[in-house]
Amino acid sequence: MNIKEAAANAGLTTHTIRFYEQRGILPAPPRSANGYRDYAENHVATLRLAKGLRELELPLDDVAAILRIAHDGTCGEVRQNMMETFVQALRDIDLKVAELEQAREHLDSVISGLRRMRARDTTVPGINPCECVRMVTAGQAAPEIPAVMTERVAIGRA
């Protein structure tokens, strides 16, 4: 089958398949007499595996390593490599989730501080950053402002 048919059967684009082949993630299939790639069903199975591994957010280098072992190794070798790779991928995801949670908390804090600021809360440019910039760079919320003052800002009497 040609690359378009292989892509449709694997759920990938032709561009993705060519990219994987150029990067050495997938071996290039043989070419027919007219020079077109000639994919067999085993190529499509490999493409599906590559797609599934990428859907697990595995880096391309890990995908390539698993595909090499899946092509040349034993089932036990594939299983061992997948286990090691997936455990590390899970650690990486957990770390990313923790980083995202920390960024979310920081954003919540900054938004809260921005909502509490009065319109006249400014500083001289170049000497001290305005409170908006300080909150983002310092990872802190604005100082507490009495509710009475924020109500005035909200109704336009500041």
Q: What pLDDT, on a 0 to 100 scale, did the predictor assign at position 155?
A: 44
Q: What pLDDT, on a 0 to 100 scale, did the predictor assign at position 56?
A: 94
In the chain, helix, strand, coil percent, each to 5? 65, 0, 35
- The class of domain 1-57 in CATH terms is mainly alpha
pTM for this one? Answer: 0.66
Q: What pLDDT, on a 0 to 100 scale, did the predictor assign at position 86?
A: 96
Q: What is the mean pLDDT of each run of 10 residues along the chain (158 residues)?
A: 95 96 89 91 94 94 93 90 96 96 89 72 54 69 49 43
Q: What pLDDT, on a 0 to 100 scale, did the predictor assign at position 157?
A: 42
Q: Where are the domains of the chain?
A: 1-57
Buried b (16+ CB within 10 A) or exposed e, 114-138: eebbeeebeeeeeeeeebeebbbee
Q: Are 48 and 66 in contact (CB under 8 A)?
A: no
Which phi and psi (to 5°) does residue 147 adopt? -60, -35
